[in-house]
Chain A
Amino acid sequence: MTTPSHIGTEEKLVRMANQIAGFFATQPKASQAEETAAHIRAFWDPRMRAQLSKLLATDANGLSPLARAAAEHLEQSEQV
């Protein structure tokens, strides 16, 4: 039985990233992507962040536009 709550880790990460982005999207600041990325940076362990970064490569990953922007931002900042 596949149900919304019995999903794989990747889908779960997407859901979590979208939820975080969902909150920061309501914040008035212009720095929504940065804030979303900073939240993920502060709370996710490296393997989760690596998985998120890998997801960016796939097109139909389900990330919301802000979550996507945040993941890209995160990827860049982790590379330096």
Chain B
Amino acid sequence: MKDFIIPNWDETDMGTPASKATEQVTLTIDGFPVTVPAGTSVMRASAEAGIQVPKLCATDSLEAFGSCRLCVVEIEGRRGTPASCTTPVAEGMVVHTHSPKVKKIRKGVMELYISDHPLDCLTCSANGDCELQDMAGAVGLRDVRYEGVENHFEVRQNGEANARYIPKDDSNPYFSYDPAKCIVCSRCVRACEETQGTFALTIEGSGFDSRVSFGAKSDNALASDCVSCGACVAACPTATLQEKSVIEIGTPERSVITTCAYCGVGCSFKAEMRGDEVVRMTPWKHGKANRGHSCVKGRFAYGYASHNDRILNPMIRDTIDQPWREVSWDEAIAFTATKLRGIQEQHGVRSIGGITSSRCTNEETYLVQKLIRAVFGNNNTDTCARVCHSPTGYGLGKAFGTSAGTQDFDSVEHTDVVIVIGANPTDGHPVFASRLKKRLRAGAKLIVIDPRRIDLVRSAHIEAAHHLPLRPGTNVAVLSSISHVIVTEGLYDEAFIRERCDWDEFADYAAFISDARHSPEATALLTGVPADAIREAARLFATGGNGAIYYGLGVTEHSQGSTTVMAIANLAMMTGNLGRPGVGVNPLRGQNNVQGACDMGSFPHELPGYRHVSDPAVRDVFDKLWGSKIDPEPGLRIPNMLDAAVDGTFKGLYVQGEDILQSDPDTKHVSAGLAAMDCVIVQDLFLNETANYAHVFLPGSTFLEKDGTFTNAERRINRVRKVMQPRNGYADWEITQLLANAMGAGWTYTHPSQVMDEIAATTPSFANVSYELLEERGSVQWPCNEAAPDGTPLMHIDGFARGRGRFIVTEYIATEEKTGPRFPLLLTTGRILSQYNVGAQTRRTENVVWHDQDVLEVHPQDAEVRGIKDGQWVRLASRTGETSLRATITDRVSPGVVYTTFHHPDTQANVITTDFSDWATNCPEYKVTAVQVAASNGPTEWQEDYAAHAAQSRRILPAAE
């Protein structure tokens, strides 16, 4: 079946990581000549030659450790039997992997291991998936001579409790730790250190007494530092660390390569299946974004797909105070089409619009904007990228000529100095964070610019060289000060600027930035960052080697979001940090397909490929293919749609896979806008908050139920593959097609690959992209066309997309949202590891054990003057509204700053946020709100009303006979 093809990538465990050396070495193994890069282990060289040396403590995702001695070999001219995993190859070496001597040693080693291991293979959850079992077979172990000796696995021994026995730890919701089965190979410990970088596991004790432990002896897995990334579980050769789903369901029988649907890292996974049930999701070692690693969300939090709350039948209602009525797909689609056309007849062509989803596939997003442009006949399309990375598009577009990150994730391996600004990678982009931390442990320097002391500032074996804890809203001032230091101290890269940018333009910029008002001494009062810290950070970045800048929503979600992006571009250009590995400007995208949603023409002024709708030549390309007449006028952006709705000129909205009521700022304004519309259509998995105001609910499908592509933060187009039939009946792209056809479109797509072909035919940066190419390559980074047939891992190598890079003057302009006597504190918002965005999916998984409610972080000083205690309910009020949540007292935030997440609808942090927005793109200013905090007794009246209203609007009538 076409859908189930897995690219033919070799999954063999080569034992040790590949060597990056270029020099080649030839040796002989069991009589076969083998040529491998210098530095390769004898074990890996053997594997290259097709010879599997038995092994237990080695695996190719980790550095060799050499503890089990199962992999011993004989090497001519050398004494003894060295471990092949820790012995590097040498020119002319002659190796014997299967001599009588090593065979005997291996049998002995296995016998010892097995004597301390229960012989319950038949009923063991790892039966058929256990390396200990495999190795016992491989070395020909037939009997074990040590019976009745001391062991770790028997609960009782000689009639007494066995003091060595440790019971199973089931505290983690997703995997169990059964010490009785542990062979102490330390693969888990090394995975936690090397791959994940959390250092949650240690080996305690020594010799026969050594045991794996989650930190302090009393700790269990859940209470430890463990972040549940699953790296140790994947590395464990036995059933000791095992997914609970495997224990429950059994071992998988097939697997399909697909892409995580959570964050913008875009990790590749193997969906391991039994029938149409997912047994487990394991990170795919050939995935180029994640290189075999994962985080708790993609690895474990997929249970929402089969959650009871999922709506599987379409529903309609005439008014939003009525209960929902379940209807057939035909009736729902006809009802919707009639309503939308009716609105257009009465209020004009431009009175309806739609919102594409950053969670859906590129193909689905492309079809939604096509529906709006070709069938609705206007450009009222927008996407939730509006509320996160629209300033990236604008800012980088102006500076470089393309609206995307410049590097691939591999680039971080070549970085010497990293600036992380307004991003919290360990929580928001965990797999990238692990790769970054690995580089930092290897010696790269880190500068963190963030109001909050994020985990990266100080965690196991990581310490930032500088943390600049700026006041929320002063990004431009801080970045300008850094540039001021670089320019006035002459630390800029003149050769790069002369070659790649316009020197006169730089001279203008230099004159601007050299002014004393940008000096760190002048801005310190404003930003709260000591001048010395800025000077040192600037010098480090300019002179420390390859410098890379990674940023997130703490940059974009400000009234000067676009200006900050330009300031970042300036900084990268003046230090010559573009166009090679280890450098660059790297926006960390929030949702899985934010990049794709932007690429696919979701914005009201841009057709796919970032081309303005006013360009007749571009419109013509689409009009010819679509038989349409695209409106040359830009359409409404989300906040404009809501304003127009309140004004009565915008009446109908098709929302695919977004929850604007919860995710957009100023909840009351959003609900007023939605309530003013005649037809709101929500297509989603669950009755989300927006659906409280909807007239039509079209049940959506999950990423497991459809084919398509996601584009991650490195512009990497990854395949999403269908592993089961849509439980709701249709993939999302099919639903959009049904609606389009009910409105007279006559579309005939039968597979998303045809949509990709249409994208390639119309969009130059995708010209060579096809499903065939993706099958062959696994993934590809756009631009992928005649000029770059293999795609483009690094952008701007020889020149910028726009020709010369442009320095843009970035003057700091304070936001209008200001603190005062009534609202003396600044609220800033963010996210945490276990939850995702509005939480609709993660709240419906076991991930809630890590975060069951949003809490407000308050500095001890601010708490003390207000008499607030840790864990107490507090009232959080801004000029816009108020809500209540529990406080947690911490010095992670500076005095004067409070912080919360927005994962739970009960908290509705966005009741507080204002509708101030980025000057260029209207990206809302989530990151700065003036607030007051006071002790309180519990939820506010508004929260209770809201909960009651939500319950009311979610009533569903029993299906009619």
Chain A residues within 8 Å of B, Cβ to Cβ? 3-6, 9, 12, 15-16, 19-20, 22-23, 26-28, 39, 42-48
* Residues from chain B with Cβ under 8 Å of A27 in the complex: 808-809
Q: Does B919 contact A (CB under 8 A)?
A: yes
Q: Does B880 contact A (CB under 8 A)?
A: yes
Interface 9-residue window, one of B75-83, B268-276, B314-322, B634-642: B634-642
Name B167-195 residues within 8 Å CB distance of A: none
Q: Does B829 contact A (CB under 8 A)?
A: no
* Residues from chain A with Cβ under 8 Å of B816 in the complex: 4, 15
> Nearest chain-B residue to A45 (Cβ)?
B636
Q: Does B879 contact A (CB under 8 A)?
A: yes
CB pair B809–A45 under 8 Å, yes or no, is: no
Q: Which of A9, A12, A45 contacts B634 (CB 8 A)?
A: A45
Complex Cα distance, B665 from A5, in Å, reads 11
Question: 12 A-B Cβ contacts within 8 A?
Answer: A6-B666, A6-B668, A12-B915, A23-B562, A23-B563, A26-B811, A39-B920, A42-B614, A43-B920, A45-B379, A45-B635, A45-B640
Complex Cα distance, B808 from A28, in Å, reads 9
Minimum Cβ distance to chain B for residue A33 (Å): 16
> Nearest chain-A residue to B612 (Cβ)?
A42
Q: Which of A28, A44, A47 contacts B512 (CB 8 A)?
A: A28
Complex Cα distance, B673 from A6, in Å, reads 13
Minimum Cβ distance to chain A for residue B856 (Å): 20
Complex Cα distance, B379 from A4, in Å, reads 30
- Binary A-proximity of B805-826 (CB < 8 A = 1, otherwise 0): 0001111010010000000000
CB pair A5–B919 under 8 Å, yes or no, is: no
CB pair B880–A20 under 8 Å, yes or no, is: no
> Nearest chain-B residue to A26 (Cβ)?
B811
Complex Cα distance, B922 from A16, in Å, reads 8
> Nearest chain-A residue to B380 (Cβ)?
A45
Minimum Cβ distance to chain A for residue B129 (Å): 55
Q: Does B225 contact A (CB under 8 A)?
A: no
Chain A interface mostly: helix
Minimum Cβ distance to chain B for residue A48 (Å): 6
Complex Cα distance, B921 from A5, in Å, reads 17
* Residues from chain B with Cβ under 8 Å of A43 in the complex: 605, 634, 637, 920-921
A20 with B915, Cβ < 8 A, contacts A42-B612, A45-B635 known: no
Q: Does B602 contact A (CB under 8 A)?
A: no
CB pair A5–B666 under 8 Å, yes or no, is: yes
Question: Which 9 residue pairs spanning A and B have beta carbons closest together?
Answer: A26-B811, A19-B919, A5-B914, A3-B879, A9-B643, A45-B636, A5-B915, A46-B633, A5-B880
Q: Which of A23, A28, A42, A46 contacts B919 (CB 8 A)?
A: A23
CB pair A23–B920 under 8 Å, yes or no, is: yes
A4 with B809, Cβ < 8 A, contacts A20-B920, A43-B634, A45-B350 known: no
A3 with B880, Cβ < 8 A, contacts A19-B919, A45-B604, A45-B640 known: yes
Q: Does B359 contact A (CB under 8 A)?
A: no
* Residues from chain A with Cβ under 8 Å of B669 in the complex: 5-6
- For chain B, the count of residues having a C-beta within 8 Å of the partner chain is 42
Q: Does B873 contact A (CB under 8 A)?
A: no
CB pair B646–A9 under 8 Å, yes or no, is: yes
Complex Cα distance, B380 from A44, in Å, reads 11
CB pair B644–A9 under 8 Å, yes or no, is: yes
CB pair B915–A47 under 8 Å, yes or no, is: no
* Residues from chain B with Cβ under 8 Å of A39 in the complex: 920
Minimum Cβ distance to chain A for residue B814 (Å): 10
Complex Cα distance, B633 from A28, in Å, reads 29
CB pair A4–B879 under 8 Å, yes or no, is: yes
Q: Which of B612, B633, B916, B921 contacts A45 (CB 8 A)?
A: B633
Q: Does B559 contact A (CB under 8 A)?
A: yes
* Residues from chain B with Cβ under 8 Å of A26 in the complex: 809-811, 813
Among A6, A23, A27, max chain B CB count under 10 A is at A23
Q: Does B489 contact A (CB under 8 A)?
A: no
Q: Does B649 contact A (CB under 8 A)?
A: yes
- Binary A-proximity of B641-654 (CB < 8 A = 1, otherwise 0): 00110110100000
* Residues from chain A with Cβ under 8 Å of B605 in the complex: 42-43
CB pair B350–A22 under 8 Å, yes or no, is: no
* Residues from chain B with Cβ under 8 Å of A5 in the complex: 666, 669, 879-880, 914-916
Q: Does B91 contact A (CB under 8 A)?
A: no
CB pair A12–B643 under 8 Å, yes or no, is: yes
Q: Does B508 contact A (CB under 8 A)?
A: yes
CB pair B644–A47 under 8 Å, yes or no, is: yes
* Residues from chain B with Cβ under 8 Å of A44 in the complex: 634, 640
Complex Cα distance, B95 from A6, in Å, reads 78
* Residues from chain A with Cβ under 8 Å of B634 in the complex: 42-45
Among A5, A16, A44, max chain B CB count under 10 A is at A5
* Residues from chain A with Cβ under 8 Å of B919 in the complex: 16, 19-20, 22-23
Minimum Cβ distance to chain A for residue B403 (Å): 14
Complex Cα distance, B427 from A41, in Å, reads 39
Minimum Cβ distance to chain B for residue A36 (Å): 10
Minimum Cβ distance to chain B for residue A12 (Å): 6
* Residues from chain A with Cβ under 8 Å of B916 in the complex: 5
CB pair B559–A19 under 8 Å, yes or no, is: yes
* Residues from chain B with Cβ under 8 Å of A23 in the complex: 562-563, 811, 813, 919-920
Minimum Cβ distance to chain B for residue A29 (Å): 10
Complex Cα distance, B916 from A6, in Å, reads 10
* Residues from chain B with Cβ under 8 Å of A19 in the complex: 559, 919
* Residues from chain A with Cβ under 8 Å of B644 in the complex: 9, 47
A6 with B643, Cβ < 8 A, contacts A20-B919, A45-B604 known: no
* Residues from chain A with Cβ under 8 Å of B604 in the complex: 45
Name B601-655 residues within 8 Å CB distance of A: 604-605, 612, 614, 633-637, 640, 643-644, 646-647, 649
Minimum Cβ distance to chain A for residue B936 (Å): 19
> Nearest chain-A residue to B921 (Cβ)?
A43
> Nearest chain-A residue to B641 (Cβ)?
A45
Complex Cα distance, B642 from A9, in Å, reads 10
* Residues from chain B with Cβ under 8 Å of A42 in the complex: 605, 612, 614, 634
> Nearest chain-A residue to B813 (Cβ)?
A22
* Residues from chain A with Cβ under 8 Å of B810 in the complex: 26
* Residues from chain A with Cβ under 8 Å of B808 in the complex: 27
> Nearest chain-B residue to A40 (Cβ)?
B634
Minimum Cβ distance to chain A for residue B383 (Å): 15
Name B771-828 residues within 8 Å CB distance of A: 808-811, 813, 816
Among B512, B612, B634, B880, max chain A CB count under 10 A is at B634
Complex Cα distance, B813 from A4, in Å, reads 18
Complex Cα distance, B637 from A9, in Å, reads 14
Among A3, A19, A27, A28, max chain B CB count under 10 A is at A19
- Binary A-proximity of B481-493 (CB < 8 A = 1, otherwise 0): 0000000000000
* Residues from chain A with Cβ under 8 Å of B635 in the complex: 45
Complex Cα distance, B604 from A45, in Å, reads 9
